[in-house]
Amino acid sequence: MNVWQARILHALEERKRTQGYRVRQVAEQNDHCLNFASNDYLGLARSPELIQAWQKGAELYGVGSGGSSHVTGYYEPLQQLENQLVKWLGYERAIVYSSGFSANQALIQLLIEKDDWIIADKLSHASLVEAAMNSEGSFKRFAHNDLDSLKRLLSKIEHDKAVLTITEGVFSMDGDEAPLQDIQISTQRNQNNWLMVDDAHGIGIHGKEGKGTCDQYGIHPDILIVTFGKALGVKGAAILCSDLVAEYLVQQSRALIYSTAIPPAQAYTLLKSIEIVQKADEQRQYLQDLILYFKTELKILGIENQSNSPIQPIIIGSNEESLRVSQVLKEHNIWAMAIRPPTVLANSARIRMTLNTNHTQENIDHVIGALRHAFGG
């Protein structure tokens, strides 16, 4: 066995030992289950409207872009998508990337130079944390949603330093929201401090016309990240920003310049998705009603959380116990995954349950019954 094999084998064995080993499951094999694991909050991923839009886009433009957006990949639907995002979300420019992970990585990699600072919420997404750790700047994390912790860190940084303060609109594992108004006030005290909000799980769900968590709280961060693989039901992401930042990305972002652009059929579909989301007030209200019902029923079981979003975590603690509960749910034909460290903090393994507009109160009653069985109630 060579050194590469030994190193990899050790890492895999350690992951198994701590009950953190991940196994991918073919989704179609769970089609008989109630899906409480998807981020498709508005149920658009399999909607007839988006399927038809994708088919039409493929007929018009084919199934691939054929190159970078700097070469042959900047088809008219992609241009229209960026323009529609600008109009919808109120920014000067939008630059589309293939995923939220790549958008976050690209932006931080490009913006942050030596002597700059990144101050991020402790529970920020892995894409943000990894990019910050690999950047040339200094990186500190403030306690989750803790304004005093944020202010203490900011007070120690010289005012002539460039600072990027990062948080999320809705946190992906806990489903709670950042105190965005207070965070923006804290960052506005220094013109060299830019606020970046990743609203992957808030766009389409919160705010007027589904504009997201920032709109709900009445703020306008310097940089907004939105993704298309959750409430919008497709895939991809965009950075919303000023003309100046957008031009910097177009000229310098390696992830943009050297990656194949999203297929024009995908962009064509996303145009339809945004149109649907903007008019989905009834669906958003229905989803909020389901969330309230679910939380009320959980509370009767003695389970409480701070989430008012479709993400409803059931914190268990140990990896082994979270896997057991997930298996009990599966035996009741409910698909809900056990989320374990390092995705979440140590000793906070959980069942991450997500609600969407395809669910009914009867579905939730079935889940509550299965949870009662799992916890011996």
| Distances from the Cα of 23 to the Cα of 114, 314, 338, 344, angstroms | 39, 21, 11, 17
State yes or no: is 330 an active-site residue: no
3-state secondary structure of 246: helix
Of the candidates 116, 168, 174, 215, the residue annotated as catalytic is 168
Q: How far apart are CA 198 and CA 207, in angstroms?
A: 15
Contacts of 172 (CB under 8 A, 6+ apart): 125, 200, 201, 311
Q: Spell out the alpha helix ranges (H) of the chain.
A: 3-17, 48-61, 76-89, 100-111, 126-134, 147-155, 180-188, 213-217, 243-252, 254-257, 264-278, 281-300, 319-331, 361-374
State yes or no: is 235 an active-site residue: no
State yes or no: is 359 an active-site residue: no
Find where tokens 């529970």 sit.
Answer: 123
Q: What number of residues does the chain have?
A: 377
State yes or no: is 198 an active-site residue: yes
Of the candidates 198, 199, 222, 297, the residue annotated as catalytic is 198
Of the candidates 40, 69, 99, 125, the residue annotated as catalytic is 125
State yes or no: is 168 an active-site residue: yes
Of the candidates 121, 127, 201, 259, the residue annotated as catalytic is 201
State yes or no: is 127 an active-site residue: no
| Distances from the Cα of 126 to the Cα of 26, 46, 104, 345, angstroms | 24, 28, 10, 12
User: How many Å from the N-terminal Cα to the C-terminal Cα in the chain?
Assistant: 50
Of the candidates 104, 172, 186, 253, the residue annotated as catalytic is 172
3-state secondary structure of 242: coil
State yes or no: is 70 an active-site residue: no
Catalytic residue positions?
Answer: 39, 125, 168, 172, 198, 201, 230
